[in-house]
């Protein structure tokens, strides 16, 4: 059976996390163990060191005391002398007694096993125990080699076969004579039983311990000898010897002089912790040791507590893993359930769509065989389901629609599918137009065509009607005299009438569908016009009802069209296009522009002229100013000095000369008069005017009253019409009227009943002001000269004057934009008429 990991199995992620967690727990336990062990080792080390130190000191002290005992006995009183003499005379009982009296108390009081006196050959002279005696090998060596020494020495532990026990001897030398410098004569030996003090000291342990012990060892040749009783091997004292080179053996390490704590394997072959040191003042080394098993015993207690904890943690991890597994399993099946129910709903939807659809739905395989269809298909084509499924689709396609159908079957379909019109055939042979939407689908590795077929016979009928309606409308539009054009939302031409196509020079069908802006709007304004149109379409602005713009014809000619626009809206009120009627106003606008240009030119010309005139006026002003000053000065000199000649030199000049001088004076005064007249005239020309209503009747009355004060004018009859009003500059009008009236007075002075009439009359339909007199009059032949500067129709002898008066009048009337004329007959008076605008 093939095992398959279920999908809901917790991923490797979870398992890895669990393994990592477990390893961490184990690692933590292990590290803790190590720490615990290190602590125990350290405690052991400290304990071993302090015990070792204490015992070594005790041993050292004990040795020192014994040595001083030996020295003391030897040197007390006349011991030397007595010993020397006793050895010479062993028989003397008195000597013997003396010595014994001396050493006996020592033995009893200090617990020595025996006190001996031997001579230099090793022969025993005195012993306190009855048994036969032997000497330690150390003592024998000293005697043999006659080694001189002064302070007491001691032997190591040695086995005495006579006593069958272990001894330590302390010995003190006895020399011949008092000054010690000569030959060794004898030795005093104090023998100690180690089991009485030193062995218990070594073997005792301050706390209870199964395995802890202290040993004393010494070097013997190349091996290490055990001096004290071994706790774990009784009876091995002084008998056990082990090789010195064994690095792990604590005793060997001690014998090599190593001081300190270490681990090793002891004489039993058991792992131990030990502390070694040298015992000062002795050739011995001390080993304090404890079995590792005992020292590390608490560790097993720790194991007993920690291991279950670790296991519980790992089990907890496993439990969590299992819970995740369960959760995932639950989710998995819940998802499966959800997907399944969704699929069920989709299937139901599909069934509903497929079977209840208003359109025919067909499913074809790669070769065009119908593999499935809906109920509507049966209704439309008239075949039963059995007849349809399994047949090739060409059965329902009209013969003329087959080639494109087959071509579509063989070509690679586009992503979005096909959408085309075709003609299908029913079982009874009825043909009907359809719209087919087809899409390729892949199902279980096979290629299928899903086709939705819609019968649009009804729609085709309406379309036909619409086209007819449209053609009729087009005909109406075509007989219109204006350009009519419809633009769609994008600005493409949807419709244009005959007048429009003729004007633009394209056939009608060529224009339809083209972009209005790209083809008919000049490039320089295209962007602007299009932007306005876009705004109009989006409803952002309200377009003007009327406007004008340029448009291009086929020949590239630019026309100006005057448009009348309306927006076309759909049923929702959204703007979807425009309809416009346009008139070609190209020629009209060109004429208007020409007119405007001419006007402009004229205005500019007037402007230039005005400026020139102003300059000329300025010139004239400064000219007349200098004239009034400078031209008169010479005249004054001429007149003045002529008079001076007449007065001062009268007797030297004859009558004729005096006449000439008088003529010179007359001429110069007349010239001054002429200059003044000219200045007056020019002043009138330059003077600024302010027009207002002037009452001519009143003004004439006032002037006539002034003139009539002169004696010669007092006989005149003056008639003035009432209420004559004109619009004029009052100052200038007064000058004009004054001159005219003065002339009338002047020229009528000579007649019998001089009469002057001032009135307003209508001549040739225009109102004019009339000033008439019944005086001298003049010949109309010279009327043209009447208003010229200094032109006179009478001699100065007849009437005084320079001939400037009427010139001034004429200039004033002209400045008002009016005109003046005169009618006269010699001897019958003159009439002047002037009109003002």
In this chain, which of 53, 220, 632, 794 binds another protein, going by CB under 8 A? 632
Nearest to 168 by CA among 143, 138, 140: 138
299 binds another protein (CB under 8 A): no
Distance CA 19, CA 125 (A): 86
Taking contact as CB under 8 A, which single stretch among the options 144-152, 345-353, 632-640, 652-660 is the one that binds another protein? Answer: 632-640
Report the residue number, 639 or 729, with the smaller CB distance to another protein: 639
Do residues 752 and 723 make contact, with C-beta atoms less than 8 angstroms apart? Answer: no
Closest approach of another protein to the CB of residue 604, in Å = 33
685 binds another protein (CB under 8 A): no
Q: Which helix (DSSP H) or strand (DSSP E) does residue 109 occupy?
A: helix 93-110
Do residues 665 and 639 make contact, with C-beta atoms less than 8 angstroms apart? Answer: yes
In this chain, which of 437, 515, 534, 628 binds another protein, going by CB under 8 A? 628
Report the residue number, 389 or 664, with the smaller CB distance to another protein: 664
Which residue in this structure is represented by tokens 């004990």?
A: 62
Report the residue number, 512 or 672, with the smaller CB distance to another protein: 672
Closest approach of another protein to the CB of residue 638, in Å = 8
CA distances (Å), 824 to each of 526, 578, 754, 787, in order?
75, 78, 16, 14
Distance CA 522, CA 516 (A): 11
CA distances (Å), 99 to each of 96, 190, 789, in order?
5, 14, 200
Report the residue number, 218 or 639, with the smaller CB distance to another protein: 639
176 binds another protein (CB under 8 A): no
**Tokens representing 38?**
């290190």
Closest approach of another protein to the CB of residue 790, in Å = 18
Closest approach of another protein to the CB of residue 632, in Å = 4
Taking contact as CB under 8 A, which single stretch among the options 7-15, 561-569, 610-618, 633-641 is the one that binds another protein? Answer: 633-641
Q: How many residues sit close enough to another protein to count as binding (CB under 8 A)?
A: 19
630 binds another protein (CB under 8 A): yes
Q: Which residues contact 706 (CB under 8 A, 6 or more apart)?
A: none
In this chain, which of 343, 472, 636, 785 binds another protein, going by CB under 8 A? 636
In this chain, which of 114, 229, 639, 729 binds another protein, going by CB under 8 A? 639
Q: How many CB atoms lie within 10 A of CB 640?
A: 12
672 binds another protein (CB under 8 A): yes
Taking contact as CB under 8 A, which single stretch among the options 174-182, 586-594, 634-642, 655-663 is the one that binds another protein? Answer: 634-642
Report the residue number, 118 or 661, with the smaller CB distance to another protein: 661
629 binds another protein (CB under 8 A): yes
Do residues 668 and 638 make contact, with C-beta atoms less than 8 angstroms apart? Answer: yes
Report the residue number, 337 or 625, with the smaller CB distance to another protein: 625
Closest approach of another protein to the CB of residue 635, in Å = 5
800 binds another protein (CB under 8 A): no
682 binds another protein (CB under 8 A): no
Chain positions 57 to 76 lying near another protein, rule: CB under 8 A, are none
641 binds another protein (CB under 8 A): yes
690 binds another protein (CB under 8 A): no
In this chain, which of 398, 635, 674, 689 binds another protein, going by CB under 8 A? 635
DSSP for 416-481, please give it.
T-EEEEEEEE-TTS-EEEEEEEEEEEEETTEEEEEEEEEE-HHHHHHHHHHHHHHHHHHHHHHT-S
**Tokens representing 231?**
């706790």
644 binds another protein (CB under 8 A): yes
Closest approach of another protein to the CB of residue 613, in Å = 21
In this chain, which of 111, 177, 243, 640 binds another protein, going by CB under 8 A? 640
Closest approach of another protein to the CB of residue 730, in Å = 17
CA distances (Å), 482 to each of 347, 469, 550, in order?
62, 21, 16
Report the residue number, 640 or 750, with the smaller CB distance to another protein: 640
What is the strand order of the sheet 755-763 is part of?
717-720, 755-763, 766-773, 830-835, 819-824
Report the residue number, 633 or 800, with the smaller CB distance to another protein: 633
DSSP for 295-331, please give it.
HTHHHHHHHHHHHHHHHHHHHHHHHHHHHHHHHHHHH
How long, in residues, is the chain?
A: 837
Report the residue number, 464 or 669, with the smaller CB distance to another protein: 669
Closest approach of another protein to the CB of residue 802, in Å = 14
In this chain, which of 151, 612, 637, 719 binds another protein, going by CB under 8 A? 637
751 binds another protein (CB under 8 A): no
669 binds another protein (CB under 8 A): yes
Q: Can you state the percent helix, strand and coil of the chain, rounding each to 5?
A: 50, 25, 30
Chain positions 431 to 470 lying near another protein, rule: CB under 8 A, are none
- Positive or negative, the Cα torsion across 398, 399, 404, 405? positive
Taking contact as CB under 8 A, which single stretch among the options 81-89, 284-292, 379-387, 641-649 is the one that binds another protein? Answer: 641-649
Q: Which residues contact 256 (CB under 8 A, 6 or more apart)?
A: 244
Do residues 699 and 769 make contact, with C-beta atoms less than 8 angstroms apart? Answer: no
Closest approach of another protein to the CB of residue 679, in Å = 8
261 binds another protein (CB under 8 A): no
815 binds another protein (CB under 8 A): no
DSSP for 128-196, please give it.
SSSS-----HHHHHHHHTT----S-EE---EEETTTTEEEEEEEEEEESSSSS-S-EEEEEEEEE-GGG
Taking contact as CB under 8 A, which single stretch among the options 25-33, 578-586, 637-645, 799-807 is the one that binds another protein? Answer: 637-645
Q: How many CB atoms lie within 10 A of CB 19?
A: 12
Three-state SS at 550:
strand
Q: For 706-743, give one letter per residue: b (16+ CB within 10 A) or e.
A: ebeeeeebeebebebeeebebebbeebbbbbbbbbbbb
**Tokens representing 720?**
């003035």
Taking contact as CB under 8 A, which single stretch among the options 33-41, 543-551, 667-675, 705-713 is the one that binds another protein? Answer: 667-675
Report the residue number, 320 or 643, with the smaller CB distance to another protein: 643
Chain positions 177 to 236 lying near another protein, rule: CB under 8 A, are none
Taking contact as CB under 8 A, which single stretch among the options 107-115, 528-536, 631-639, 765-773 is the one that binds another protein? Answer: 631-639
Chain positions 606 to 625 lying near another protein, rule: CB under 8 A, are 625
Q: For 109-138, give one letter per residue: b (16+ CB within 10 A) or e.
A: eeebbbbbbbbbeeeeebbbeeeebbbbeb
Distance CA 724, CA 758 (A): 9
Report the residue number, 535 or 669, with the smaller CB distance to another protein: 669
668 binds another protein (CB under 8 A): yes
Report the residue number, 439 or 632, with the smaller CB distance to another protein: 632
Taking contact as CB under 8 A, which single stretch among the options 122-130, 395-403, 666-674, 819-827 is the one that binds another protein? Answer: 666-674
In this chain, which of 633, 711, 752, 762 binds another protein, going by CB under 8 A? 633
Report the residue number, 599 or 669, with the smaller CB distance to another protein: 669
665 binds another protein (CB under 8 A): yes
Beta strands in 18-121 (DSSP E): 114-119
Residues that bind another protein (CB under 8 A): 625, 628-630, 632-633, 635-637, 639-641, 643-644, 665, 668-669, 672, 676
């Amino acid at each position: 059976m093939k095992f398959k990991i279920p999908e809901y199995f917790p991923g490797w992620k979870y398992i890895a996390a669990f393994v990592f967690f477990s390893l961490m727990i184990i690692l933590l336990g292990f590290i803790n163990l190590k720490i615990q062990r290190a602590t125990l080792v350290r405690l052991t080390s400290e304990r071993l060191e302090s015990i070792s130190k204490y015992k070594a000191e005790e041993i050292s002290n004990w040795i020192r005391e014994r040595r001083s005992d030996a020295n003391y006995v030897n040197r007390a009183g006349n011991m030397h002398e007595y010993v020397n003499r006793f050895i010479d005379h062993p028989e003397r009982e008195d000597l013997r007694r003396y010595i014994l009296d001396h050493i006996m108390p020592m033995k009893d009081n200090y617990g020595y096993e025996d006190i001996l006196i031997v001579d230099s050959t090793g022969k025993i002279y005195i012993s306190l125990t009855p048994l036969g005696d032997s000497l330690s090998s150390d003592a024998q060596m000293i005697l043999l080699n006659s080694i001189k020494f002064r302070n007491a020495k001691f032997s190591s532990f040695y086995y005495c076969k006579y006593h069958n026990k272990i001894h330590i001897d302390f010995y003190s030398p006895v020399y011949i004579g008092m000054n010690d410098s000569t030959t060794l004569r004898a030795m005093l030996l104090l023998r100690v039983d180690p089991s009485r003090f030193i062995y218990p000291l070594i073997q005792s342990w301050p706390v209870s311990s199964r395995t802890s012990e202290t040993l004393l060892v010494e070097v013997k040749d190349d091996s290490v000898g055990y001096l004290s009783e071994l706790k774990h091997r009784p009876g091995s004292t002084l008998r056990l010897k082990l090789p010195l080179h064994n690095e792990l053996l604590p005793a060997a390490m001690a014998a090599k002089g190593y001081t300190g704590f270490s681990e090793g394997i002891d004489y039993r072959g058991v792992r131990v912790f030990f502390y070694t040191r040298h015992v000062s003042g002795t050739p011995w080394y001390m080993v304090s040791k404890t079995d590792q098993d005992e020292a590390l015993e608490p560790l097993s207690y720790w194991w007993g507590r920690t291991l279950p904890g670790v296991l519980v943690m790992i089990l907890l991890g496993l439990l969590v893993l299992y819970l995740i597994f369960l959760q995932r399993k639950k989710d998995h099946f819940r998802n499966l359930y959800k997907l399944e129910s969704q699929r069920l709903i989709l299937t139901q939807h599909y069934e509903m769509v497929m079977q209840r659809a208003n359109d025919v739905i067909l499913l074809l395989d790669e070769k065009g065989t119908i593999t499935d269809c809906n109920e509507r298909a049966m209704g439309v084509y008239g075949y039963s389901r059995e007849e349809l499924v399994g047949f090739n689709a060409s059965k329902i396609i009209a013969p003329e629609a087959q080639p494109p159908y087959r071509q579509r079957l063989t070509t690679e379909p586009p992503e979005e599918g096909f959408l085309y019109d075709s003609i299908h055939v029913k079982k009874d042979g009825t043909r009907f137009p359809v719209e087919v939407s087809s899409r390729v689908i892949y199902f279980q590795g096979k290629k299928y065509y899903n086709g939705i077929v819609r019968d649009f016979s009804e729609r085709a009928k309406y379309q036909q009607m619409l086209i007819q309606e449209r053609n009729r409308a087009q005909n109406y539009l075509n007989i219109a005299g204006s350009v009519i054009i419809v633009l769609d939302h994008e600005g493409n031409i949807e419709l244009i009438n005959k007048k429009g196509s003729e004007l633009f020079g394209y056939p009608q069908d060529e224009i339809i569908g083209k972009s209005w802006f790209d083809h008919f709007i000049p490039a320089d304004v295209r962007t602007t016009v299009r932007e306005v149109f876009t705004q109009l379409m989006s409803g952002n602005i309200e377009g003007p009802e009327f406007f004008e713009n340029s448009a291009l014809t086929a020949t590239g000619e630019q026309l100006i069209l005057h448009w009348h626009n309306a927006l076309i809206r759909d049923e929702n009120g959204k703007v979807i296009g425009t309809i416009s009627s346009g008139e070609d106003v190209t020629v009209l606008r060109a004429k208007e522009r020409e007119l405007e240009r001419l006007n402009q030119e004229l205005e500019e010309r007037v402007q230039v002229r005005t400026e020139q005139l102003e300059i000329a006026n300025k010139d004239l002003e400064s000219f007349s100013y200098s004239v009034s000053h400078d031209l008169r000065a010479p005249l004054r000199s001429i007149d003045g000095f002529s008079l001076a000649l007449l007065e001062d030199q009268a007797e030297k000049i004859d009558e004729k000369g005096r006449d000439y001088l008088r003529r010179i004076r007359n001429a110069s005064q007349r010239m001054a008069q002429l200059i003044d007249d000219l200045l007056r005239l020019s002043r009138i020309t330059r003077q600024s005017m302010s027009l207002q209503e002037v009452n001519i009747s009143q003004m004439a009355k006032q002037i006539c009253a002034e003139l009539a004060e002169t004696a010669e004018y007092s006989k005149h009859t003056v008639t003035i019409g009432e209420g004559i009003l004109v619009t004029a500059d009052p100052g200038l009008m007064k000058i004009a009227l004054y001159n005219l009236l003065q002339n009338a007075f002047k020229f009528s002075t000579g007649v019998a009943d001089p009469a002057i009439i001032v009135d307003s009359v209508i001549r040739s339909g225009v109102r004019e002001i009339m000033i008439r007199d019944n005086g001298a009059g003049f010949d109309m032949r010279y009327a043209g000269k009447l208003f010229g500067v200094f032109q006179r129709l009478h001699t100065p002898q007849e009437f005084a004057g320079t001939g400037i008066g009427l010139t001034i009048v004429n200039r004033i009337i002209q400045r008002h934009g009016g005109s003046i004329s005169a009618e006269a007959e010699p001897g019958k008076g003159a009439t002047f008429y002037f009109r003002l605008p």
